[in-house]
Amino acid sequence: MTDRRSHAQRGPTASNRLWAPWRSGYIAGAAKRSRRRRAEKGGTAGGPERSEGRLQEGCIFCDLPAQRRDRANLILRRGRRTFVMLNRYPYNNGHLLVAPNGHVAGLDDLAPAALRELAEEVRDAVSRLRDVMKPDGFNVGLNLGGAAGAGFADHVHFHVVPRWVGDTNFMPVAGEVRVISQRLEETRKALEPAFRAAARRASSRGTGKRRSG
């Protein structure tokens, strides 16, 4: 007998899980690095963590930018208050994450200038992806809170996902598995020049405004 319930109704079962044991090394490594840094600062591994809108150890949106290894960490652009990076576990080719520098959980926690820059970076990310990857459409949004599906609920971030007609094939429909057809390094190399050019244009506009002022 065929189970006609939806994926959400069935819940996680052996038939709709894609086992990825290689991710355990990434997760364990991040946790180990976080514990080591807290110990070096005199904290305890199990103690409370404070964010105060600054940086939060163990959060990829705080840890990765702080490492200053942008190419390895797939960070494409840094603004004054925000940054843009490729999602290491993308829903589709070119899946970008746009986040503020400060560790805050909600949009209402952001200062007006940071909120404005975040919106502008989301807009520009769509523009860069459209220029380089020529998608047919986009999914743009954010998950606020763990119940809404946020993987890092304490650091608000936008998802910008390019979509193409036909990119939903039998794999996610029948097998409930996404197939990503391009390596992350290839995607980064394709997008990086567009983000660099945009940064140079923004810098030159800012210089021109200061001179005219």
Q: Catalogue the active-site residues.
A: 157
Interior angle at CA 56, CA 158 and CA 54, nearest 5: 80
Count of all residues that appear for the chain in the document: 213
CB distance 180 to 90 below 8 Å: yes
| Torsion sign (Cα): 41, 46, 48, 50 | positive
Strand partners, 93: none
Contacts of 15 (CB under 8 A, 6+ apart): 176
Q: How many helices (H) and strands (E) does the chain have?
A: 6, 5
In terms of C-beta density within 10 A (0-12 exposed, 13-18 middle, 19 or more buried), how is residue 212 classed? Answer: exposed
CA distance 14 to 3: 14
| Matching residue, tokens 């990829």 | 60
- CA distances, 190 to each of 78, 129, 134, 165, 179 (Å): 17, 10, 12, 21, 19
